[in-house]
């Protein structure tokens, strides 16, 4: 067996828990334990607030089950664990806040190392025909609907204060993550803002956002909500330009 084949056999044994031919089982057990421990530690680092919420023992047990089923596929451990979020959704189907905290943990870290982008200011919001204007967002922006108060829980844990009890929130609300300058940011959103951001991210024009809001709101409130969203997204460093 040449060196390449031996290395492949050793790596496969780490993943499967077997012992390659000619290897001392005691030494292999040490390597396998170190391998699993490093991956659990990687998850604990990536999902720091989630681990604090669940507690070390509960989190490590869930992380160990994940490691048993998911082999790293990237050259860097920073990329390991993205599918831990749907894994937690299945593991805690009655506790929405767990996977939503994990989503915040993961995407805030990704936002920090994401691509740079110049943004426009509120004074740059000008267009000849707003109905046809589309919004170009920064590449670090991520969005998801939420069913719990995970944003408030995450913020309390980060601030070192007692987090609120998990509760269900109004249907349709959401959370967003992005980077403003060098600082990762996150925020909760009303159902109206969530729907508008969802539409805008798929390429809907500002006029189409107003049309959507106009189905359930009068003209004055539609204008106030749409304008408020555009102003807030710009002021918070989420928009890098407008396009027609």
Domain boundaries, the chain: 1-94, 96-244
Per-residue pLDDT tens over the stretch 80-93: 999 999 999 999 99
Q: Looking at residue 148, what DSSP letter applies?
A: B
pTM: 0.87
* Rounded alpha-carbon distances, angstroms, from residue 9 to 17, 21, 78, 231: 11, 9, 25, 57
Contact 140, 110 (CB under 8 A): yes
Interval 216-236: pLDDT, tens? 999 999 999 999 999 999 999
Query: Distance (Å, rounded) from C-alpha 198 to C-alpha 201?
Result: 5
Gap between the Cα atoms of 186 and 237, Å rounded: 12
Residues 6+ apart with CB under 8 A from 40: 60, 63, 64, 67
- Can you tell me the mean pLDDT for 63-81? 86
């Amino acid at each position: 067996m040449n060196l390449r084949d031996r290395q492949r056999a050793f790596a496969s044994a780490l993943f499967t828990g077997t012992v390659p031919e000619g290897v001392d089982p005691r030494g292999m057990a040490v390597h396998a334990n170190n391998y699993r421990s490093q991956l659990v530690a990687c998850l604990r680092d990536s999902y720091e607030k989630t681990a604090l919420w669940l507690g070390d023992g509960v989190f490590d047990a869930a992380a160990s089950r994940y490691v048993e089923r998911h082999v790293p596929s990237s050259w860097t451990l920073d990329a390991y664990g993205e599918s831990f979020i749907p894994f937690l959704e299945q593991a805690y189907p009655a506790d929405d806040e767990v996977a939503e905290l994990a989503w915040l943990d993961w995407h805030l870290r990704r936002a920090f190392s994401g691509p740079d982008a110049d943004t426009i200011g509120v004074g740059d919001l000008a267009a000849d025909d707003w109905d046809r204007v589309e919004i170009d967002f920064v590449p670090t922006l991520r969005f998801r609907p939420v069913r719990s108060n995970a944003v408030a829980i995450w913020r309390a844990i980060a601030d070192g204060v007692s987090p609120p009890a998990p509760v269900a929130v109004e249907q349709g609300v959401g959370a967003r993550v992005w980077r403003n300058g060098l600082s990762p940011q996150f925020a909760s959103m009303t159902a109206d803002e969530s729907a508008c951001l969802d539409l805008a991210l798929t390429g809907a024009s500002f006029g189409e956002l107003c049309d959507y809001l106009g189905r359930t709101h009068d003209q004055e409130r539609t204008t106030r909500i749409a304008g408020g969203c555009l102003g807030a997204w710009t002021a918070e460093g989420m928009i890098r330009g407008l396009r027609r």
